[in-house]
Structure 1
Amino acid sequence: MTARLPLTPAAVDRIRLVGARLIDGTGGAPVDDAEIVVAGDRIAWAGPRRGDVAEERDTRIVDLRGATVLPGFFDTHVHLALDLEADPRQTLAQFPSERALDAAATMRKTLMAGITTARDLSGLDAGYRAAVAAGTILGPRLHLAIQALSPTGGHTDFRLPNGASVHPGPEPEISPIIDSDDDVRRAVRALVRSGADVVKVCTTGGVSSPSDSPHDLGVPERHVRLIVEETARRQGQPVAAHAQGAAGIKEAIRGGVASVEHGYEIDDEGIDLMLEHGTVLVPTLSSALRVPDPARVPGYLYEKKVRWSQIAREHVARAIQSGVTVALGTDAAVCPHGRNLLELGHLVDLGLSPMAAIQAGTINAARLLRLDEHLGTVEAGKLADLVITAVDPLAGIHALADPVSIDAIVQGGRVVKDALRRFPGGVATTSLG
């Protein structure tokens, strides 16, 4: 079953890119002196540079010698409306319009970092997806969870023992709390009605939540199964599990989730289950391995972060080296927005080859989101989402962490970034100007 294709404004130009090195996301050897023809929003040709080609009228030719072309990258775990290190007093004082504009600015920053498709795992509503499709704002193509689900006292219950809310954003319209079978059905149906592309459940507590820990169990296996059954009655939305402690990871996998988010304490039994079930790991190393400034976060969060950062480094490395399928996700909001491709370097540091890390951020992620018919590789017929850089990612993948290293970005055939002004005609703007 395919998923809803996140749209961007339609492109009409025909562009021929020549001379670059092409890493197409399939895992095949790079193609030197490549040629990529973009017709409208789709790729018409991608491969070795051809000889004499009869140029169609109005084709723009772009010389990319010295550059590498890659598929547009995915970040499968972001929270574009949140910033967990922001001053909560400022957040509480904001008007809804200020929060919306801040989220739009974060979306643009994420796109400029090379992320042409993002999965927001709670925080954004479907209006943001529609705004990107209409060209009102520039941002990644969006798949949305709308809200994340957990039991009372679980990871998405942001109430302190005295009942005060410390939710990092506005109070959600759909309750995140599911304690009974009826709660589960009602929540999933409300999420689907609201336009959710994925259902996120929390089978463990977390590092950032105030009243639980990653070892605490959250949504039980039987409720995960019920959620999977309920989504199968709709559009077959995949289920993503926030799961950090070992026991909750295994309950999520046995319950039938498509992906384990974080997976910090995954053990050998959990690795075997992931391999058996084909479950994808989204390890969010950009957040896991980053210990924040203790002055900028609550004490309970800092203490857990120090401990769990080391746990994640050891256990996720073992899973990666065991051959578990990995998709790129950062948990941006827990770590800074706009440096999403830092995750590639972390994946390589923990055992992936640079080529495999690129695939984690392209074709693996596209398959997880059920978008691989359209995205994830640079091949004829696919949508023209491209990242262009002077960096050789097979020799220096860590350099892609700096958005300045991303020279140009094409999204659906539209040039949305062109730092070196290689593309005649300029870059796409929003409908706001």
Structure 2
Amino acid sequence: MERTQVPQDAQQTAPALLLRNATVIDGAVNQPVPALDVLVEHGRIQAVAPTGTLPLPATAGPERLRVLECTGLTVLPGFFDCHVHVSTRPDADRFDTLMAPESLLTLRSVPVLASTLDAGITTARDLAGADSGFRSAVEAGHVRGPALQIALRILSITGGHGDWRTVGGTPLDSGPGAGVVADSPAGFVRATREVVREGADWIKVAATGGMSSPRSAPEAGGLTEAELRAVVQEAERQGVVGVAAHAQGTAGIAAAVRAGVRSIEHGYLVDGPTLQEMGERGTYLVPTLSALTRPAPEHGPPHEVERRHRMRETALERLSAALTSGVPVALGTDAGIAPHGRNLRELALMVRLGLSPAAAIAAGTSVAARMCRLDDEVGTVRAGMRADLVVTGVDPLTDIAALGDPDAIRTVVRGGRIVRHTDVPSDAGRERAA
């Protein structure tokens, strides 16, 4: 297997790339199209055309044009995971994490970024934990990973989901991703400006508590609607991508939607009237089914275990209604709470709850790109788009669950450069240089 870094000038240094005789699922159109060639130059898709019909660039050996034979393989857009925490590990001991130096928490994220990329995720949205240095390190090619949009922190009321202090007020979460606590519209405007100053692409708010919140619950513990509106208005004024609302309880989800957030994260207890309003407003749902369906930690805090058992079945019912309601759905796993490097398992979970395989693929590609305001750059296999691509031997429309195995991802292309490639022993997928 070949694994390479992607420097900022990759489009200038990478040779042209031809993916030959592939079946293409472009991320927006439901039907796969067989026998297509995809030509990549200067980091972008130059053309998609029937096999053998493209005029190839002048070549002087393999350093100018690389050809991957894709007979029997499928090419898709690179996938998004719109809810990750790359600096968090689901198996981490909370006390050890509290006592660890920040450098250790950052450096152990390096293999997480790599495994996320190798799983077929070429763009990820980190919703608290990663600071702007993570994004810059990936862009500069210092580490292998997906392109990142970041929120840095979660904005929380006192006692809410982002308030990780002891009763006596001692902070238990003081790293770059620590929550920001405020308690008025003016306070949250100031908090929004601070996070933007630190380099955030997104603003994340706690519209409710969560299953793991020490002093709040999924049905309570969130910003008021006036506070949420203040954040949304300031985020729009500051020109960030949007506001993402951690929202699990019914009332908090509804308040966040009315306030104008761009995405609802989790949405476990969403009700029918709110789904209708989400559809009318175009509010995105990121259901994080990987986190909801993961086994409860054996030795987790009793309140977290109890909440998870109490909410799970109702949440699955509500999310099934949501996924079949027509609201825009974007793929997100809550990796860091859920396992890293298995991100595309979320596709099968979305299908299990009612999406078609084609709609699930769109949720992880074109719809996610639109939510992140990147749909003019990535998310579809079309001429002019940045060449973020995935090649697999799986037919994802008949066996969507198979994509959840990272070994099913044969090749990952990011910015026109092959960053993962697995040689195929059979006739399918043979590589040669032109």
TM over 0.5: yes
Mapping for residues 21-420 of structure 1, pairs under 5 Å: 21-51=23-53, 53-57=55-59, 58-167=64-173, 170-172=174-176, 176-295=180-299, 297-420=300-423
SS in 1 for 2:180: coil
2:140 maps to a residue whose letter is: A
Number of matched pairs: 417
Closer/same/farther in 2, CA of residues 9 and 92 from structure 1, 3 Å limit: farther
Match of 2:3 in 1: none
Structure 1 CA distance for aligned equivalents of residues 72 and 9 of structure 2: 29
C-alpha contact (below 8 Å) 2:185/2:226 kept by paired residues: no
* Letter of the structure 1 residue corresponding to residue 160 of structure 2: G
- SS at the partner of 2:269? coil
On the 8 A contact 1:8/1:141 being kept in 2, the answer is no
- Which amino acid is 1:266 matched to? V
Q: CA 1:10–1:52 in 2, change beyond 3 Å: closer, same or farther?
A: closer
Q: Please, what is the CA RMSD of the aligned residues?
A: 1.8
Deviation at 1:401, TM superposition (A): 0.9
CA distance in 2, matches of 1:336, 1:84: 6
Aligned partners of 2:419, 2:259: CA distance in 1, in Å? 40
Higher mean displacement: 213-222 or 50-59: 50-59
**1:122-149 alpha-carbon deviations (Å, 9 max, x no partner):** 0000011110111000111000001011
Query: Within 2, Cα distance between the matches of 1:281 and 1:417?
Result: 30
Provide the rounded CA distance (Å) in 2 between the counterparts of 1:54 and 1:132: 31
Matches of 1:84 and 1:166 in 2, distance apart?
A: 17
State the TM-score, normalizing by the size of structure 1. 0.92
* Cα gap change, 1:134 to 1:423, in 2 (>3 Å): farther
Deviation at 1:48, TM superposition (A): 2.5
Q: Does the aligned pair in 1 maintain the 2:241–2:372 contact within 8 Å?
A: no
Match of 1:3 in 2: none
Secondary structure in structure 2 of the residue aligned to 1:294: coil
Q: Structure 1 regions of 5+ residues with no counterpart?
A: 1-5, 426-433
**Post-superposition CA distance 1:223-272 (Å, at most 9, x none):** 11111111222214301100000000000000000111000000111111
Percent of paired sites with the same residue: 45
**TM-score under structure 2 normalisation?**
0.92
Q: Contact 2:207–2:221 at 8 Å: present in 1 too?
A: yes
Q: Deviations over 1:362-402 (max 9, x none)?
A: 00000000000000001000000001110100000001111
After TM superposition, give the deviation of residue 173 of structure 1 in Å.
Answer: 7.2
* Structure 1 pair 80–8 and aligned structure 2 pair: CA distance change class (3 A): farther
Q: 1:137-183: per-residue Cα shift (whole Å, max 9, x none)?
A: 0111000001011100000111243545444xx43477510212232
| Cα shift at 1:66 | 1.3
Unaligned residue ranges in structure 2 (runs of 5+): 1-5, 425-429
What amino acid sits opposite 1:410 in the alignment?
V
Secondary structure of 1:328's aligned partner? coil
The residue type paired with residue 269 of structure 1 is P
Greater alpha carbon shift after TM alignment, 380-389 vs 211-220: 211-220
Distance in 2 (alpha carbons) for counterparts of 1:262 and 1:8: 34
Partner Cα separation in structure 1 for residue 348 and residue 56 of structure 2: 41
1: CA distance, partners of 2:392 / 2:159:
45
Q: How far off its partner does 1:298 sit?
A: 2.0
CA separation in 2, counterparts of 1:146 and 1:283? Answer: 20
In structure 2, distance between residues paired with 1:69 and 1:349: 23
Relative distance call for 1:59 and 1:352 in structure 2 (3 A) is: same
